[in-house]
Amino acid sequence: MKHLNAITISIGDELLSGKTLDSNNAFISKQLDVIGVSVIKKIIIGDIAQDIKDSLDWAFAQADVITLTGGLGPTHDDITKSVLCDYFDVGLKLYPDLLENLKDRFARRGFKFSESNASQAEYPDNAALLENPFGTAQGMYIEHDGKHLFVMAGVPREMEVVTTGQIIPILSQLTQASISKVDIHSIGVPESTLYELSKPVLDEYPDLKIAYLPKQGMVTIRVSFQSKSPDEDQKLKDEIYGRIRDLKPKNIYGRNEEVLPVLIGKLLKEKHATVATAESCTGGLVASLITDISGSSDYFQTGFVTYANETKMSMLGVQKRTLIEHGAVSEETVSEMLSGTLRKSGADYAVAISGVAGPTGGTEEKPVGTVYIGVADMGHQNIKRFQFGKNRILNKEMSAYSSLNLLRLLIEDTNQ
Whether residue 308 is found in the same domain as residue 219: no
pLDDT (0 to 100) of residue 73: 80
Q: Express each pLDDT in 285-295 by its tens digit.
A: 999 999 999 99
Query: Cβ contacts of residue 326 below 8 Å, gap of 6+?
Result: 332, 333
Q: Which residue, 156, 172, 188, sits at the end of a domain?
A: 172
Is pLDDT larger for residue 364 or for residue 35? Answer: 364
Whether residue 215 is found in the same domain as residue 345: no
d(CA 43, CA 70): 12
Whether residue 18 is found in the same domain as residue 165: yes
Is pLDDT larger for residue 235 or for residue 177? Answer: 235
d(CA 99, CA 354): 58
Is it the case that residue 114 has pLDDT exceeding 90? no
* Averaged pLDDT, 324-343: 98
d(CA 29, CA 5): 11
d(CA 90, CA 376): 68
Whether residue 310 is found in the same domain as residue 213: no
* Averaged pLDDT, 74-80: 81
Is it the case that residue 381 has pLDDT exceeding 60? yes
Q: Is 267 helix (H, G, I), strand (E, B) or coil?
A: helix
Whether residue 230 is found in the same domain as residue 372: no
Q: How confident is the model at residue 275 (pLDDT cuts 50, 70, 90)?
A: very high
d(CA 338, CA 329): 14
Is-contact 7 43, C-beta < 8 A? yes
Q: Which residue, 154, 172, 190, sits at the end of a domain?
A: 172
pLDDT (0 to 100) of residue 36: 83
Is it the case that residue 112 has pLDDT exceeding 90? no
pLDDT (0 to 100) of residue 78: 82
Give me the long-range contacts of 358-362 (CB less than 8 A, separation at least 24). Answer: 358/390, 358/391, 358/392, 358/395, 359/390, 359/391, 359/392
Whether residue 250 is found in the same domain as residue 276: no
* Averaged pLDDT, 238-254: 96
pLDDT (0 to 100) of residue 379: 92
Whether residue 264 is found in the same domain as residue 399: yes
Is it the case that residue 416 has pLDDT exceeding 70? no
* Averaged pLDDT, 116-123: 85
CATH (domain of 398) = 3.90.950.20
Is it the case that residue 104 has pLDDT exceeding 90? no
Q: How confident is the model at residue 136 (pLDDT cuts 50, 70, 90)?
A: confident
Whether residue 159 is found in the same domain as residue 219: no
pLDDT (0 to 100) of residue 86: 96
d(CA 237, CA 256): 11
- Strand ranges, E, within 145-251: 147-152, 179-187, 209-215, 218-226
User: Among 84-88, 223-227, 409-413, which is the least confidently predicted range?
Assistant: 223-227
The whole-chain average pLDDT of the chain stands at 93
Is it the case that residue 414 has pLDDT exceeding 80? no
pLDDT (0 to 100) of residue 2: 64
- Interior angle at CA 340, CA 338 and CA 344, nearest 5: 125
pLDDT (0 to 100) of residue 310: 97
CATH (domain of 229) = 3.30.310.220
Q: Give the domain extent around 299.
A: 260-415
Whether residue 224 is found in the same domain as residue 116: no
pLDDT (0 to 100) of residue 264: 98
Alpha helices, H only, 96-167: 96-108, 115-118, 156-162
d(CA 59, CA 395): 41
Q: Domains in the chain: how many in total?
A: 3
Whether residue 29 is found in the same domain as residue 144: yes
Considering the entire predicted model, what is its pTM? 0.72
Whether residue 12 is found in the same domain as residue 139: yes
Closest CA to 358 of 384, 322, 397, 330: 397
CATH (domain of 48) = 3.40.980.10
Whether residue 24 is found in the same domain as residue 127: yes
d(CA 341, CA 231): 46
Q: Which residue, 147, 172, 197, sits at the end of a domain?
A: 172
